[in-house]
Amino acid sequence: MQTTRYAEIRTRSTPYRALLVVLLAFVLAGLGAAHYMEVEGHHVTGMTNQIVWGLPHVFAIFLIVAASGALNVASLSSVFGQPAYRPLARFSAILSVALLFGGLSILLLDLGRPDRLIVAMTHYNFKSIFAWNIFLYVGFFVIVGVYLWLTMERRMYRFSKPAGVVALVWRLVLTTGTGSIFGFLVARESYDTAILAPLFVILSFAIGLAVLVLLLQASFTLDGRELDTALLKRLGRLLGIFVAAVFYFVLVFHLTKLYGTQYHGFERFILLDGGVYTGLFWILQIGLGNLLPLALVFAPRLQGSSRALTAACALVVAGGFAQLYVIIIGGQAYPLDIFPGYQVESSFYDGVINAYQPSAWEWLLGLGGLTAAVLAALLIVRVLPILPESLRGEASGS
């Protein structure tokens, strides 16, 4: 079997430096937005006492979910013995850690009082899924770090498979916990279903792989390295399987809700009368985020096409973000049914669709966390031998 040679990115080209400058500018803008919101208060955002999880939370959960899915390639190599993906295992691990770092950064800076993290780390309520996630996130960093060291240290490589198994189980539990945050909220008709946990898991597979492919292509292009057509076909087919699974789980989710009479109002809101949420669902999530990528990756003439795969990955990322926006924001916009079976009338938003318009500060914070993750990944591959020097012919060995 051909031995893969790894090397750090060596390019000093103007496009590479310009990309780093742009990413750094967004990171600094995000930090500035977080500082402004902390000083002025969250009244400068679009969040209210009805919409308490705003756009930064969508960005944060998007990155956390993508972090779990980005580790898929490493799992396919170490756990399932697929040699075609072995050259990308290091990059898969680094990217997963960078994405989780970006997502948690947004959550920390959006607390309003970041120092309260000390309370979350020293006082635990084990009846809360949020307390569980503290352990899951910290454990993810440790386990993936150990896995990465084992894969890079030649003398310890034989232990990489057990570490990969632990990482696989841990990230599945982590993503299940993230989905359960919403699935356990029985007070909201938009959530309150166990299927949200596996939906988040399979969504992480699709988003994580799409982000990995985009950054892999960008890194290889900037450094003048070669990507193998056979590997692109493999990644495209794998992405298509994940996207089809996401579409299936979304279909089951809404059919389950439609089966229960008490959820008909919410389903009508999302599918027909929800305004921006309905548009995001049908156009961006289903049309551009599911159906079009499936056409791009499975069309016979486009298989192995780098441009088609890039377009499909970008659409999957956009569709996944829209899906999380509809779930998180749209779920809060629909009014609470505090007393099921009774008609409640008061002046406190009873039966009223809650309005939400994200502010520029929320956009800057979310984009700052996203670019921080990308910047961290690019800087790590700049100083460490993470990426293979070439992927030409690597896929043929499987």
394 within 8 A of 84, measured Cβ to Cβ:
yes
First to last CA, the chain: 10
Instruction: Give the span between the Cα atoms of 36 and 304, in whole angstroms.
Output: 46
167-176 residue pLDDT tens: 999 999 999 9
Q: What are phi and psi of 227, to 5 degrees?
A: -110, 135
pLDDT at 237: 93
Query: 9-337+360-388: which CATH topology?
Result: Formate dehydrogenase/DMSO reductase fold (1.20.1630)
56-100 residue pLDDT tens: 999 999 999 999 999 999 999 999 888 889 999 999 999 999 999
Average pLDDT over residues 107-117: 75
pLDDT at 396: 46
pLDDT at 284: 96
Which of 140-144, 219-223, 262-266, 320-324 has the lowest average pLDDT? 262-266
Enumerate residues 6+ apart whose C-beta is below 8 A from 291: 247
Residue 287: both structure tokens together: 């049309």
Instruction: From 137, 134, 157, 133, select the one nearest 97 (Cα to Cα).
Output: 137
Enumerate residues 6+ apart whose C-beta is below 8 A from 348: none
Averaged pLDDT of the chain: 88
Other Cβ atoms less than 10 A from the Cβ of 48: the count is 15
Please report which confidence band the pLDDT of residue 1 belongs to, taking 50, 70 and 90 as the band edges.
very low
Average pLDDT over residues 119-147: 82
Instruction: Give the span between the Cα atoms of 369 and 103, in whole angstroms.
Output: 6
Other Cβ atoms less than 10 A from the Cβ of 80: the count is 11
Task: Give the residue carrying structure tokens 């969250």.
Answer: 42
Question: Where in the chain are the domains?
Answer: 9-337+360-388
Instruction: From 227, 213, 233, select the one nearest 298 (Cα to Cα).
Output: 233
318-376 residue pLDDT tens: 999 999 999 999 988 888 766 566 666 665 666 678 889 999 999 999 999 999 999 99
148-198 residue pLDDT tens: 999 988 888 888 899 999 999 999 999 998 888 888 777 677 787 888 999
**Radius of gyration of the CA atoms of the chain, in A:** 21
pLDDT at 148: 92
Q: Which residues pair with 388 in a beta bridge?
A: 6
Instruction: From 205, 260, 209, 265, select the one nearest 236 (Cα to Cα).
Output: 209
Please report which confidence band the pLDDT of residue 397 belongs to, taking 50, 70 and 90 as the band edges.
very low
226 within 8 A of 392, measured Cβ to Cβ:
yes
3-state secondary structure of 387: strand
Instruction: From 173, 156, 203, select the one nearest 327 (Cα to Cα).
Output: 203
Amino acid letter, 71? L
Decide if pLDDT at 52 tops 60. Answer: yes
pLDDT at 338: 63
The H-assigned helical ranges of 127-228 are 129-152, 160-183, 196-223
pLDDT at 392: 67
For residue 231, how far is the Cα from the chain centroid? 23
Instruction: Give the span between the Cα atoms of 1 and 11, in whole angstroms.
Output: 29
254-273 residue pLDDT tens: 998 888 777 888 889 999 98
Instruction: Give the span between the Cα atoms of 203 and 245, in whole angstroms.
Output: 8
Q: Which residues pair with 6 in a beta bridge?
A: 388
pTM over 0.85: yes
Residue 178: both structure tokens together: 């993230």
